[in-house]
Structures are given as structure tokens and as C-alpha cells.
């Protein structure tokens, strides 16, 4: 039930399909993929002696990062108002380098907003689990309780709608864009994935001795196979013009899809690759050095924020999804590639047992085969380092840096056969999603380019000219009075002003050029022509922001938007 000034609205989950049955939404393929994954998970469980394990479903825990700014600033920024991000803005003297926002108290105004949203979410059956400051100034995060993937996707969309409504009641605007402010951390929507049911719990719980937990190792190995074999599809599932600003930077997972297992699991699979796992690293202890505090156990798994797909104790955390997108897209991909991997595991074990192989030996052979063939995707190091870029290439891992690099993965023969085999998408549905991805990319950048041209021409350029005129007039008056003057201040503003005029002309020409007739041609034009032209306009404008008199500058600054709440 959604409450509004005119009464209450009953929102009923539904699906949206064409007259011929093709999926036109995100929910239909999510349900299809979950069904396929569950079917093959049950086959694996049957081999482990579970006669009637019940329906196996995927679970999802979407963490939502976002920015809050005062609504007056939002309304005074045409770029944020129309595109969700700042197309101009010089870096402030103080940013996030102290991490003081991350570790500080939640601002009172924001805390009031958070408490109101939690009340409204609770009415909708979406209990929030955590809320806290994020690392960038003005950035925050909320995480709801983990749920079935299908319900989590619905609730995530409701959460975003609720947040927008409540933020405005508090005189603020919420920004879900992946990179609303250049130079500070962007926002993601981490998808925590697991599978299981109420009877068996999570099938990704290793226990204290994972080397003895064969069932867990098979499901974990299935994840390794799935992520390695279909890394390109995982990257494509989070591809967008907005997420391109975030992925690959030293604040978000790299575009190279790899798996972090932690020391304990990595050691177990290394033993398996060499023959058999006979031990697991145990929990260590932490001595604080204070008599009044107890000795604390440490987790042998650890955590890696630089990994796109990290094991975090009883689930895998896919950190690449963008803060604006629905979690249904990544979940469809994860479910489907897991269906294929579990199908492979079940088929291999069934054939081995049918041929008379001892079941334990068959499991050992399967695990050895998977970690030997697909172990290259496991990486426990620093995903932000330049060395990893080189090492990943040597391992044969794809590095799809941009949306236009990633989207073709959707229409590869391997991908289309995969989704058709498990009855999630047919070829027409895959091609439609590829075309829509290209169209959305070109439209997004096109809107931003037109905004850059408009704001640059009608706001920033006139302000800079006024400043230049004032400087020239003042210098002229001093010179007429016989005072020797320094012309450096005039040259200081004239140089970036000339660069701005030139860059605006180039951007205007790029917008007027014929991009071509196909969706791919339009997207290529946006990437190769519009983005560089916009960057040149911004560079000149941001230089001018540091020169033009503050009372003449027409836009709220980063310093104001990020720190005044």
C-alpha cells in the first residue's frame, strides 16, 4: 500500500509481456532465471541425499548508496536537474581526503530523513538493516534485510521511490546517479547473492571446516565456473553510460570481473587443485592490548573491497551494479549462469556415479576439474593496482572498460544459446536488450551534451565575459590614472575563456553532425565525439570557476552542495 495525499494505492506485482509472449520487463526473466537455477540446484542436492529439498531460490541483499543535497542547490543546477549529475564543477579545497564524513556522526537533518524513510519502508514490508555515512561528503547508504531475489527487486524499486519522496519533504534532493560529483567517490548498489531455502538455509555457508563440506564446495565451485565462463555477461549486466563514470576507478570494482575467496577458501581450492583438501585455516585471535577487553576471534575469510565478486562469509557480493539500476538485471544474469554451472555439476556427477565411480571421488574429480579450468578468475589481491591489469590480461580475463565494449556480449552466440537453453530469453529478446542498451547509452550522453552546450553558452560563458570585462575596465581605469598595471589577471581569464568558446563550438558541431542510422552508430558517435567535446568544455569551465568572481559565478559550487546539509 502506497500512501499519497489522495488516498492509498494498492501496488500489485505484475509482469509485462508482448502479445507473442516476449518479456518486456525485468520481472519475467528474473522469475524464469530463478526457476532454471532452482531446478538444477535440486539435482545437485539430490546427489547429496536430499530427497525433497523444496524449491531452491536465489536471495538478494541490495545495498543502496546515494547522495543528498539541499533542494535549493538542486533546483539551481540545470545539469543535475536534467541528467542527475554535475556536468561542471571544480574540485573543492577540501574533499573526502580526511574520511571525516565516513567516520563522523550522521548529520541531524539527514538522520531525521533516514528515520522517516525507515518508518515508511516498514509500512511497505521493507525493514532496513543498516544505515550509515559513506566515504564521500554528502553520501550515505542503506541496506535492507536480505530477501528472495524476486521480492528484493520489487522492494528495491519501492525503496528508491520512497527515498525520493521523503527527501523532498525534508527540503533535500536524493541523487542516485553513479557519479554525480567528479573527483569524489561514486555510488553503487552492491548485490549480495546466495541461494537456498527456509529448510536448508544458505547453500553458501562453508562452516568451520569448509574442506570437509563437500556440498558447499560444489556450490562454491559452481560460482567460480559461472563467473569465469560468463564474466563478459556479468559486465554487460551493469553496463550503462552512467556506470561507466564509476567502474574501473579506484573507488569501485574494476571492469575486470574476478572472484575474491579469502585466504581460507583460496587455500582449500588450492589444495583441491593439487589433489585433495585435507585442512582449513582456522579462525585467528585479535589481542587488543587492553585488560578490560576480551580476546576477539578474527574471520579467516576476510573481505576485499577491490573485488567485483567477493565471498563474504555466507554469500557473494557483486559490487559492480550501479546505484540507479534495478537489481533484477544482474540477478537474471547470476541466476542463469548459475543454472548452467549447476547443470554441469549435476550432469558430471550423475554420469560418474552412474558409471560406478565412488561419489566422494566423483566430487573430488569435479572440483579439481573446475578449479583447474576456471581458477584463473580467482584473485585475492588489489584489484585497483596497475599490475592486476597486466596479470588479468595474462590470465585471459576480459577487460571490458566501457558500455560499448560490454554490450556486444549480450548478442554473442554463446550468450544467446545460454539464455535460450535455460528458457530465460530467446534470441529476439536478447537482441532487443542489446538495441535498448545502445539506445539508452546514446540518449543519455546526448542529453548531457545538449545540457553542457546550453549551460556553457548561457550561464558560464556570460559570467566569464562579465568578469573579463570588469577586470579589463578596472585595469583601463588604473592605466588612465597613470598607474602602472599588471595585465596578468586579464590574461588569466582570457586564456580559459578562449578555450571555452572553442570547446563550445566543437561540441555544437558534434551535436549537429549526422551520427549514422543505426543504434550502434549513434552510440559510437556519443562515445567518440560527444564525450571528448563535453570533457573539453568542462575543463575550460572548471578552470574559470577558480578565477571568476564568486558573486558572478552562476552555479552552486561543489563546496556548497557537498558540505551544506
* β-pair partners for 172: 70
Q: Same domain for 173 and 232?
A: no
Return the pLDDT at 284: 74
Q: Tens of pLDDT along 467-478?
A: 999 999 999 999
d(CA 439, CA 113): 36
Q: Across 305-380, where does the E strand assignment appear?
A: 309-311, 316-318
Return the pLDDT at 525: 98
Q: Same domain for 445 and 409?
A: no
Length of the chain: 565
- Is pLDDT above 70 for 302? no
Return the pLDDT at 388: 94
Q: Same domain for 462 and 544?
A: yes
Asked, for residue 180, whether it belongs to a domain, the answer is yes
Full domain range(s) for residue 154: 64-187
- What's the whole-model pTM score? 0.94
CATH of the domain at 83: 3.30.590.10
Q: Specify the long-range contacts of residues 366-373, CB closer than 8 Å, at least 24 apart.
A: 366/218, 366/221, 367/217, 367/218, 367/221, 367/269, 367/272, 368/272, 368/273, 368/275, 370/221, 370/222, 370/224, 370/225, 370/345, 371/221, 371/224, 371/269, 371/272, 371/273, 372/273, 373/225, 373/228
User: If you search the block for the grid coordinates 556440498, which residue do you land on?
Assistant: 215
Residues in contact with 110: Cβ distance below 8 Å, sequence separation at least 6, in sequence order: 68, 140, 172, 565
Q: Same domain for 468 and 497?
A: yes
Cα-based angle 419, 424, 427 (whole degrees, multiple of 5): 55
Of the two residues 249 and 88, the one the predictor is more confident about is: 88
Q: Would you call 233 exposed, middle or buried from its count of C-beta atoms within 10 A (0-12, 13-18, 19+)?
A: buried
Banded pLDDT at 297 (limits 50, 70, 90): confident
Q: Tens of pLDDT along 476-490?
A: 999 999 998 888 999
Residue 271: its H or E element: helix 262-274
Q: Same domain for 49 and 95?
A: no
d(CA 69, CA 71): 6
**Is the distance from CB of 259 to CB of 379 less than 8 angstroms?**
yes
Q: Same domain for 416 and 447?
A: no
CA-CA distances (angstroms) from residue 389 to 174, 360, 384, 397, 447? 34, 38, 8, 9, 33
Average confidence (pLDDT) over 196-220: 90
Q: Tens of pLDDT along 309-347?
A: 999 989 999 999 999 999 999 999 999 999 999 999 999
Q: Would you call 395 exposed, middle or buried from its count of C-beta atoms within 10 A (0-12, 13-18, 19+)?
A: middle
Across the chain, what does the average pLDDT equal?
93
Q: Same domain for 163 and 310?
A: no
Banded pLDDT at 261 (limits 50, 70, 90): very high
Overall number of domains in the chain: 3
Asked, for residue 151, whether it belongs to a domain, the answer is yes
Asked, for residue 355, whether it belongs to a domain, the answer is yes
CA-CA distances (angstroms) from residue 246 to 174, 181, 411, 559? 18, 11, 24, 21
**Is the distance from CB of 139 to CB of 65 less than 8 angstroms?**
yes
Q: Same domain for 354 and 391?
A: yes
Radius of gyration from C-alpha coordinates of the chain = 27
Asked, for residue 364, whether it belongs to a domain, the answer is yes
Q: Tens of pLDDT along 157-188?
A: 999 999 999 999 999 999 999 999 999 999 99
Amino acid at each position: 500500500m502506497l500512501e499519497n495525499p489522495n488516498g492509498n494505492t494498492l501496488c500489485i506485482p505484475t509482469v509485462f509481456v508482448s502479445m507473442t509472449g516476449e518479456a518486456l520487463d525485468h520481472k519475467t526473466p528474473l522469475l524464469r532465471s530463478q526457476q532454471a537455477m532452482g531446478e538444477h540446484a535440486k539435482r545437485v542436492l539430490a546427489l547429496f541425499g536430499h530427497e525433497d529439498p523444496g524449491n531452491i531460490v536465489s536471495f538478494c541483499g541490495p545495498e543502496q548508496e546515494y547522495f543528498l543535497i539541499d533542494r535549493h542547490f538542486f533546483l539551481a543546477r540545470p545539469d543535475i536537474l536534467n541528467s542527475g549529475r554535475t556536468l561542471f564543477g571544480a574540485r573543492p579545497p577540501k574533499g573526502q581526503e580526511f574520511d571525516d564524513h565516513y567516520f563522523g556522526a550522521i548529520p541531524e537533518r539527514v538522520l531525521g530523513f533516514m528515520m522517516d524513510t525507515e518508518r515508511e519502508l516498514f509500512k511497505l514490508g521493507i525493514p532496513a538493516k543498516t544505515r550509515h555515512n559513506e566515504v564521500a561528503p554528502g553520501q550515505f547508504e542503506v541496506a535492507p534485510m536480505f530477501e528472495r531475489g524476486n521480492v528484493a527487486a520489487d522492494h528495491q524499486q519501492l525503496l528508491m521511490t520512497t527515498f525520493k519522496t521523503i527527501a523532498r519533504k525534508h527540503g533535500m534532493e536524493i541523487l542516485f546517479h553513479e557519479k554525480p560529483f567528479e573527483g569524489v567517490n561514486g555510488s553503487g548498489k552492491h548485490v549480495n547473492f546466495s541461494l537456498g531455502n527456509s529448510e536448508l538455509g544458505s547453500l553458501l555457508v562453508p562452516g568451520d571446516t569448509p574442506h570437509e563440506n563437500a556440498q558447499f564446495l560444489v556450490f562454491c565451485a559452481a560460482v567460480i565456473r559461472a563467473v569465469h565462463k560468463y564474466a563478459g555477461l556479468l559486465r554487460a549486466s551493469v553496463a550503462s553510460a552512467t556506470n561507466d563514470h564509476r567502474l574501473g576507478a579506484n573507488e569501485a570494482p574494476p571492469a575486470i570481473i574476478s572472484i575474491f575467496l579469502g585466504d581460507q577458501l583460496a587455500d582449500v581450492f588450492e589444495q583441491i587443485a593439487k589433489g585433495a583438501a585435507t585442512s582449513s585455516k582456522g579462525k585467528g585471535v585479535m589481542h587488543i592490548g587492553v585488560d578490560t577487553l576480551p580476546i576477539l576471534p578474527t574471520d579467516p575469510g576476510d573481505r576485499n573491497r577491490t573485488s567485483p565478486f567477493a565471498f563474504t562469509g555466507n554469500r557473494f557480493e557483486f559490487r559492480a551494479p550501479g546505484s540507479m539500476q534495478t537489481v533484477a538485471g544482474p540477478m537474471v544474469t547470476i541466476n542463469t549462469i548459475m543454472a548452467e554451472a549447476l547443470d554441469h555439476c549435476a550432469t558430471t556427477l550423475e554420469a560418474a556415479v552412474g558409471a560406478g565411480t565412488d561419489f566422494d571421488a566423483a566430487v573430488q574429480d569435479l572440483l579439481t576439474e573446475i578449479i583447474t579450468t576456471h581458477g584463473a578468475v580467482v584473485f585475492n589481491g588489489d584489484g585497483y593496482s596497475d599490475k592486476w591489469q597486466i596479470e588479468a590480461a595474462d590470465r585471459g580475463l576480459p577487460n571490458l572498460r566501457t558500455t560499448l565494449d560490454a554490450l556486444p556480449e549480450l548478442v554473442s552466440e554463446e550468450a544467446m544459446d545460454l539464455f535460450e537453453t535455460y528458457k530465460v530469453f530467446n534470441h529476439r529478446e536478447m537482441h532487443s536488450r542489446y538495441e535498448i542498451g545502445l539506445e539508452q547509452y546514446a540518449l543519455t550522453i546526448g542529453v548531457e551534451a545538449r545540457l553542457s552546450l546550453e549551460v556553457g553558452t548561457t550561464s558560464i560563458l556570460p559570467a566569464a565575459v562579465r568578469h573579463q570585462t570588469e577586470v579589463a575596465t578596472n585595469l583601463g581605469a588604473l592605466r588612465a590614472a597613470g598607474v602602472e598595471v599588471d595585465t596578468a589577471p586579464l590574461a588569466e581569464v582570457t586564456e580559459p575563456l578562449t578555450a571555452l568558446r572553442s570547446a563550445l563550438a566543437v561540441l555544437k558541431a558534434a551535436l549537429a553532425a549526422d551520427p549514422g542510422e543505426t543504434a550502434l552508430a549513434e552510440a559510437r558517435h556519443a562515445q567518440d565525439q560527444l564525450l571528448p567535446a563535453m570533457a573539453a568544455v568542462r575543463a575550460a569551465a572548471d578552470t574559470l570557476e577558480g578565477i571568476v568572481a564568486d558573486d558572478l559565478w552562476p552555479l552552486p559550487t561543489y563546496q556548497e552542495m557537498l558540505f551544506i546539509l
